[in-house]
Structure 1
Amino acid sequence: MNENVGTEKERSAPDKDVQENAAIVEETDDEGKNTKQIVCINCSSKILPPSMGTFMELEFELVSFKGEKEIVKKFFKVEDMFHFDNLGFTNTVDNHKFLSCADCDLGPIGFHDLNTKLSYLAIDRVQKI
């Protein structure tokens, strides 16, 4: 289910989609931390408080909500899994656990790398309020 955890690119790296990056810049501070509460797009359950995730780009294959594989590139990296509010973790698959909303089970909304102990929350699969 997983593929490559690609090279990390910090927030200052240029991107092809300028409008999308402009929206991300508005939702992050000077250090790339999320400035808004992150919630589930399905049930609005709180997932990640402000200032707990750092924007980064990497390529990782996740199954879409429709069941198709897709490459996701924009994430909030979370250093400690205890920074999350309501988050579920799947069984281990190839040294990764997949993240889901703990209240409605929507997922995967990201992944947890067992080697690095870092979690990555897919920006396009959550809502910022």
Structure 2
Amino acid sequence: MQTGSNQPVQEATASKPLVFGLTAAIVVGIIAPLVLPHVLHPSIFFHIILHIASLVIATFLSVVSLTAYMRAGGARTLYMTLGFIALGVSEVFYLFQAAGLLFFLNMPNLDIEFPHIIVLGMLSLFGLGVLKVNK
């Protein structure tokens, strides 16, 4: 027979600022060596910084929503998680396009339209999450 208080067990979770800082350090650590050699003009530099910041935020939101999905489950949370992951993928393509690194996509116009298709998928996933009716 169990004795003790009826307080819920608290899981060990990291603080969101710490997760954001670690996510930012990892993303910048991976992406910066790839894009910094391609920064030649100040306007390109700011454009690339904008996409790196967007990628950091998309990655952070993906990590947070993935942990929420693992904890609570549910189709709405899954759609939100997949939407944030799609946002991160599209930001990677936009970043590589801004830095001139899309040499691995040699199909005509794919480097221009593919990120837009991913963003459309992201918006569709968010829409499914919002419009999903729980019965």
Bin the TM-score by the shorter chain.
Answer: under 0.3
Instruction: Please report the TM-score for the alignment, with normalisation by the length of structure 1.
Output: 0.25
User: Which structure: greater helix fraction?
Assistant: 2
